[in-house]
């Protein structure tokens, strides 16, 4: 059972002072090194003299001894018996992966050259057979280019297990590569596959990408026995910035035919008169593959990282329990976050079989996008940029996980090519193409993450993207924005009131307020006017008869939601045509009809009441988004004034002016308001361009429109 490690909160201030005042949620990119790790490493390098391990001086021998000691210490950290496994230091996990691919390619080339396999008199190019999981990182996928086209992308568990036994050529080397944990979604894949694959056929080998898995899970190399395992140390400890390849010694022969050689991996090289070299073939596999001088200072730092990590977190099992609890808490909190209409705020991408809280199937990583109230997508780049301004650090994009993006965001090969043709690039993404996200936002948690980090992120989302929370910043957020912790209440109040006064002067809000005020005022005025018009002084109805006169309004209000289903479908169609962006002008179609109804007959007034109120609110909300709460407050203020004021003069109006003249006055007011939906449809975009608050959310503003905007002011 996973548990939250409260000790983390106690060590944050002393060991991670650089996290003070910020929320770091990108441990999948790199975790943060402890202060004591930097101090201990620096003290070691100051106190001791380390030389190049390729020399034979005393400082060099000291470096060699420390590297050998740390190599064994690292193997034991991953529960890998040094008698059965070796560790090759690499620049990073990608270098470890590429090393395996190049060795397999060169092994196939060497065996082809020696055996001279031919087919129909022609020499056959023998390569290795390669399979990779669809959740693989780009660095794993890239190995397919070394396999001469003999590669397969595998999805389900059934596909993987069928592929393992499908090829009849048992003499051909076969490599299966997969991530222990998806770097995009955090899904964890079976660690039983390496043994299962090895036992299913000859020449079967597994490359496990454990870069993501090892950050918050104890690797059990002895138990799971992958042939090759790639790891990245900065993802586990924060530093050093190096990686490693853990090699099962019984499979090491597959790495001994690499054609390239560098310093330290050869016994003899001839360059004059002939080209010949003798590679190291005796001793440990790391001596044959670690080309050039090792990053020995970084390896020395790794030794301290192992010690500090154990001191702070006790064990990887403890880290796993802590992060598993946090992952479950984060997922539960996100799924329960809703807009006021009940619509979800987050769409989370996960495998059906992965369960947050179950460390065997799911890591502490959440991939998601944020949805507006109308369920259109907020561009993931906007989310990261907005969070960054609040000192909340997440990652957004495709996560170097092409298979994950295609699977969870439902991109076909054809659509991906079209997105590329339209200019979408990994380094310069177009976040929404044809209304569909091209990437995600990712939260990845680590050993030093806390519940407070998650709560801070959720507070940010609720304050910016959930529709029922005021966009007026609180004291803490205001302090962060203005950089002043001594902000008085009066200053904060002045800031808020000043902004509300300005936003209340917007044309869009004035239009909406006029309609809301008139309709609400009229609805309250009817309470008195109906008694006069239809009662004893008018048509002579009794009390029940006057009450029945309100049934028409009730029926109209009831019909309103039904007819507005067409309006909503029309709006969603326009959203799809607009690349997933809300189009406020698409909200006014039904309102153009409803605007005329109060002039024609009050029998349809109830229907127009619902339709026009809905239009003014949704149009305002779509226009101002982040500032919608403040904008809608203006509508509500006028509406309440009219609702309270109209009944005060209703009886006097009808008694002093007569029923016909009083009705004419109200009809004239309705006629004056009729053009509003038509104005919004034709000029709404220009009105939004004039507003600094509405303009902020117009993703489709062109350069020409930006240049014209001052002329409209």
In angstroms, how far is the first alpha carbon of the chain from the final one? 62
In a domain, 1, yes or no: no
* Spatial distance between the Cα atoms of 453 and 459, rounded to a whole number of angstroms: 10
Low-confidence ranges of the chain (pLDDT < 50): 117-123, 125, 468-502, 599-600, 603, 700-713
In a domain, 601, yes or no: yes
Maximum pairwise Cα distance, the chain = 124
Answer yes or no: do 570 and 607 share one domain.
yes
Token pair recorded at residue 31: 């975790």
pLDDT, residue 617, reads 76
Backbone angles phi, psi at 351, to 5 degrees: -75, 145
Backbone angles phi, psi at 440, to 5 degrees: -140, 170
Answer yes or no: do 461 and 565 share one domain.
no
Torsion of CA 466, 472, 476, 480, to 10 degrees: 100
pLDDT, residue 528, reads 62
Cis peptide before 159 (omega within 30 of 0): no
Are 181 and 187 within 8 A, CB to CB?
A: yes
The helix/strand/coil state of 290 is coil
Of 440, 342, 346, 374, nearest in space to 574 by CA = 374
Q: Which domain holds residue 677?
A: 504-712
Catalytic residue among 22, 400, 426, 477: 400
In a domain, 481, yes or no: no
Answer yes or no: do 380 and 444 share one domain.
yes
* Spatial distance between the Cα atoms of 304 and 113, rounded to a whole number of angstroms: 46
Of 616, 597, 604, nearest in space to 670 by CA = 597
What CATH number did the domain enclosing 382 receive?
A: 3.90.1150.10
68, with CB counted inside 10 A (0-12, 13-18, 19+), is: middle
In a domain, 483, yes or no: no
Answer yes or no: do 419 and 274 share one domain.
no
- 399: CB partners within 8 A, 6+ apart: 183, 184, 367, 405, 439, 440, 442
Answer yes or no: do 509 and 523 share one domain.
yes
Answer yes or no: do 153 and 86 share one domain.
yes
The helix/strand/coil state of 193 is helix
Backbone angles phi, psi at 396, to 5 degrees: -135, 155
Answer yes or no: do 257 and 339 share one domain.
no
Answer yes or no: do 284 and 336 share one domain.
no
**Positive or negative torsion for Cα 237, 329, 388, 16:** negative
Are 540 and 589 within 8 A, CB to CB?
A: no
Out of 469, 496, 512, a domain closes at 469
pLDDT, residue 136, reads 98
* Spatial distance between the Cα atoms of 153 and 141, rounded to a whole number of angstroms: 9
The helix/strand/coil state of 133 is strand
Angstrom distances, CA of residue 271 to CA of 21, 66, 274, 275, 431 = 59, 34, 6, 5, 53
* Spatial distance between the Cα atoms of 287 and 88, rounded to a whole number of angstroms: 8
Beta bridge partner(s), residue 153? 132
- How many other CB atoms sit within 10 Å of the CB of residue 93? 27
Angstrom distances, CA of residue 621 to CA of 360, 600, 648, 675 = 43, 29, 31, 20
Are 19 and 9 within 8 A, CB to CB?
A: no
In a domain, 497, yes or no: no
Are 599 and 671 within 8 A, CB to CB?
A: yes
Answer yes or no: do 667 and 519 share one domain.
yes
Beta bridge partner(s), residue 89? 244
Are 403 and 363 within 8 A, CB to CB?
A: no
pLDDT, residue 127, reads 84
What CATH number did the domain enclosing 121 receive?
A: 3.40.640.10
Answer yes or no: do 181 and 38 share one domain.
yes
Token pair recorded at residue 90: 């690499």
Can 548 be counted among the known catalytic residues?
Answer: no
What CATH number did the domain enclosing 689 receive?
A: 1.20.1250
* Spatial distance between the Cα atoms of 243 and 222, rounded to a whole number of angstroms: 20
Of 583, 582, 581, 579, nearest in space to 434 by CA = 579
* Spatial distance between the Cα atoms of 369 and 344, rounded to a whole number of angstroms: 11
Answer yes or no: do 262 and 385 share one domain.
no
Length of the chain: 713
In a domain, 119, yes or no: yes
* Spatial distance between the Cα atoms of 448 and 26, rounded to a whole number of angstroms: 11
Torsion of CA 648, 650, 652, 657, to 10 degrees: 150
Of 10, 70, 31, nearest in space to 316 by CA = 31
- How many other CB atoms sit within 10 Å of the CB of residue 21? 8
Of 328, 303, 343, nearest in space to 186 by CA = 328
Out of 260, 284, 312, a domain closes at 312
Angle in degrees, CA 206, 211, 213, rounded to 5:
85
Of 236, 244, 234, nearest in space to 80 by CA = 244
Are 431 and 439 within 8 A, CB to CB?
A: yes
Beta bridge partner(s), residue 181? 188
Out of 454, 469, 484, a domain closes at 469
Backbone angles phi, psi at 275, to 5 degrees: -115, 110
In a domain, 6, yes or no: no
Angle in degrees, CA 563, 573, 441, rounded to 5:
120
Domain count, the chain: 3
Answer yes or no: do 336 and 270 share one domain.
no
In a domain, 490, yes or no: no
pLDDT, residue 537, reads 62
């Amino acid at each position: 059972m996973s548990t939250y490690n409260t000790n983390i909160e106690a060590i944050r201030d002393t060991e991670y002072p650089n996290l003070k005042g910020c929320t770091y949620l990108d441990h999948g990119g790199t975790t943060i090194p402890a202060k004591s790790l930097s101090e201990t490493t620096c003290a070691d390098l100051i106190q001791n003299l380390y030389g190049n391990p390729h020399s034979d001086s005393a400082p060099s021998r000291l470096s060699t001894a420390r590297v050998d000691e740390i190599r064994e210490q690292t193997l034991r950290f991953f529960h890998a018996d040094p008698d059965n496994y070796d560790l090759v230091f690499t620049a990073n996990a990608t270098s470890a992966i590429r090393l395996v691919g190049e060795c397999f390619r060169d092994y196939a080339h060497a065996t082809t050259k020696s055996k001279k396999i031919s087919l129909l008199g022609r020499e056959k190019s023998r390569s290795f057979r390669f399979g990779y999981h669809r959740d693989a990182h780009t660095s794993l996928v890239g190995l397919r280019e070394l396999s001469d086209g003999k590669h397969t992308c595998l999805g389900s568990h059934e596909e993987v297990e069928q592929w393992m036994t499908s090829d009849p050529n048992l003499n051909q080397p076969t490599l299966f590569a997969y991530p222990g944990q998806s770097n995009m979604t955090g899904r964890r894949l079976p660690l039983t596959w390496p043994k299962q694959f090895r036992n299913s056929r000859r020449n079967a080998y597994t490359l496990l990408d454990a870069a993501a898995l090892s950050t918050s899970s104890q690797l059990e190399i002895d138990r799971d026995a992958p042939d090759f395992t790639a790891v990245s140390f900065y993802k586990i400890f924060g530093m050093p910035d190096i990686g490693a390849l853990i090699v099962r010694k019984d499979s090491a022969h597959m790495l001994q035919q690499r054609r390239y050689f560098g310093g330290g991996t050869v016994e003899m090289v001839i360059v004059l008169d002939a080209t010949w070299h003798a590679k190291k073939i005796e001793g440990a596999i790391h001596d044959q593959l670690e080309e050039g001088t090792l990053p020995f200072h970084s390896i020395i730092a790794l030794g301290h990282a192992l010690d500090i990590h154990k001191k702070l977190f006790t064990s990887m099992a403890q880290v796993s329990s802590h992060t598993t609890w946090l992952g479950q808490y984060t997922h539960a909190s996100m799924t329960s976050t809703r807009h006021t209409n009940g619509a979800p705020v987050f769409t989370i991408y996960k495998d059906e079989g992965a369960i947050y809280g179950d460390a065997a199937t799911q890591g502490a990583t959440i991939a998601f996008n944020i949805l507006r109230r109308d369920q259109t997508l907020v561009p993931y780049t906007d989310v990261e940029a907005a969070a960054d301004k609040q000192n909340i650090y997440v990652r957004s994009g495709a996560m170097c996980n092409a298979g994950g993006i295609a699977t969870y965001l439902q991109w076909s090969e054809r659509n991906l090519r079209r997105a590329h043709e339209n200019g979408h690039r990994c380094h310069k993404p177009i976040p929404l193409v044809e209304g569909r996200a091209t990437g995600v936002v990712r939260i990845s948690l680590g050993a030093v993450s806390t519940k407070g980090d998650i709560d801070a992120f959720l507070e940010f989302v609720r304050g910016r993207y959930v529709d029922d929370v005021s966009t007026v910043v609180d004291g803490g957020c205001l302090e962060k924005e203005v950089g002043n912790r001594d902000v008085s209440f009066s200053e904060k109040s002045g800031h808020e009131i000043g902004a509300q006064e300005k936003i209340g002067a917007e044309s869009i809000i004035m239009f909406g307020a006029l309609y809301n005020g008139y309709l609400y005022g009229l609805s309250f005025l009817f309470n008195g006017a109906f008694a006069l018009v239809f009662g004893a002084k008018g048509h002579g109805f009794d009390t029940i008869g006057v009450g029945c006169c309100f049934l028409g309004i009730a029926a109209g209000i009831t019909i309103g939601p039904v007819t507005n289903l067409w309006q909503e479908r029309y709006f969603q169609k326009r959203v799809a045509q607009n690349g997933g962006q809300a189009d406020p002008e698409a909200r006014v179609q039904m309102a153009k009809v409803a605007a005329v109804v109060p002039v024609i007959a009050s029998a349809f007034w109830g229907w127009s009441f619902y339709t026009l109120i809905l239009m003014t609110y949704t149009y305002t909300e779509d226009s101002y988004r982040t500032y919608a709460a403040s904008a809608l407050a203006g509508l509500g203020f006028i509406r309440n004034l009219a609702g309270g004021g109209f009944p005060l003069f209703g009886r006097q109006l009808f008694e002093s002016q007569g029923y016909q003249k009083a009705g004419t006055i109200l009809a004239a007011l309705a006629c004056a308001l009729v053009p509003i939906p038509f104005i919004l449809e034709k000029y709404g975009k220009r009105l939004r361009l004039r507003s600094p608050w509405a303009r902020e959310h117009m993703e489709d503003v062109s350069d020409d429109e930006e240049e014209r905007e001052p002329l409209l002011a």
